[in-house]
Amino acid sequence: AQRVTQPEKLLSVFKGAPVELKCNYSYSGSPELFWYVQYSRQRLQLLLRHISRESIKGFTADLNKGETSFHLKKPFAQEEDSAMYYCALDPGGTSYGKLTFGQGTILTVHP
């Protein structure tokens, strides 16, 4: 069975500082990885996915198959980045899009 681990429950940085939210996974196949975000008083929404190779709101994430990691990075954090971030894994194939989520990391960006 697959597993997703986000080692930091809380992460605090100052505005303008770089930020990295860690995500490690265990799965024997080739999964797709996602980052979902929940801003205050908003619903959970997709931030980015590996397959799209895109940068959203200045965030990027690189899939490292050797280290089985999918860390989320942003070079200059903004106060509006404060939110709960979830890393999620989709095994693909006939999994019907079922996601396995990490425990989540609360990011706080201080002014």
Partner 1 sequence: NAGVTQTPKFRILKIGQSMTLQCTQDMNHNYMYWYRQDPGMGLKLIYYSVGAGITDKGEVPNGYNVSRSTTEDFPLRLELAAPSQTSVYFCASGKGLVSYNEQFFGPGTRLTVL
Contact residues toward partner 1 (CB under 8 A) are 4, 6, 9, 32, 34, 43-46, 49, 51, 86, 90, 92, 96-104
Give least dist CB 59 to partner 1, A. 16
Q: For residues 49 and 71, which CB has a smaller minimum distance to partner 1 in the complex?
A: 49
Task: Please report how close the Cβ of residue 14 comes to partner 1 at its closest, in angstroms.
Answer: 25
Give the residue with the Cβ less far from partner 1, 81 or 100: 100
Of the pair 70, 86, the CB lying nearest partner 1 is at 86
Identify which of residues 57 and 75 has a Cβ nearer to partner 1 in the complex. 57
- Using CA atoms, how far apart are residues 13 and 3, in angstroms rounded to an integer? 27
Cβ partners under 8 Å of residue 68, min gap 6: 24, 25, 26, 27
**Computed from CA positions of residues 34, 84, 23, 56, in that sequence, does the dihedral angle turn out positive or negative?**
positive
Residue 80: exposed, middle, or buried by beta-carbon count in 10 A (0-12, 13-18, 19+)?
exposed
Question: Nearest distance from residue 83's CB to partner 1, in Å?
Answer: 14
Phi, psi of 52 (to 5 degrees): -85, -15
User: What are the structure tokens assigned to 89, written together?
Assistant: 């894994």
Output the smallest distance, CB 64 to partner 1, in A. 18
